[in-house]
Amino acid sequence: MSPPPPHPSTPAQRAAWIDARLAALYPETPVPLDHSSPYTLLVAVLLSAQCTDKRVNLQTPGLFARADTPEKMVRLSVAEIDAHVRPCGLAPRKAEAIRRLSQLLLENHGGAVPRSFAELEALPGVGHKTASVVMAQAFGVPAFPVDTHIHRLAQRWKLTPLGANVERTERDLKRLFPEAHWNALHLRIIFYGREHCTARGCDGMVCPLCRELFPARRRAVRVKKA
């Protein structure tokens, strides 16, 4: 185990220590969403909005058995897609977005998932976080998608101010961590947040990293949700 960082430490010192600590804890960074192509990853990430990766992974095998390409997806009706993804929540909206983005991929991109943030974010149901996940995990482009776990831990670890919005958190994390580490590190923070520094299981004083980073902390950290 790495020794605790020096105290008091700057955000840059904490970031460097967290980077090394998480790399030791999670040397492998498998993508949590099951997929076989950039297209199936895009669909899976869209479905993961306000839904757990575990539930998405339970639903996508049935959907992808019928339609794992834009060409196949547009042959399904919105109602048929909805039936496959209903347990993921917001199913009618997600089903419509999946079918429409599949049409647009065929019409505007030759059926391929585009490799730019602007083109991805122009697709229905695809926001900046979804585009960032696809760019990072499908194409290896440095990105730092900020989900609820990363947003929570960044505030608990004083890498971004309490009450910061997601955009501020992303800017701060990109400034603090080396670009070459972003794609693996954002997954490592998610893994740690799910396993140790959970929304209810830690208040900034319970999990190992919170205790090691802030041994003198005596008050719970109330964070703003993503």
Select which of 94, 129, 158, 172 is catalytic.
129
Q: Among this protein's residues, is 225 annotated catalytic?
A: no
Residue 94 annotated as catalytic? no
Q: Which of 53, 82, 147, 172 is catalytic?
A: 147
Contact 102, 40 (CB under 8 A): no
Just list the catalytic residues. Answer: 129, 147
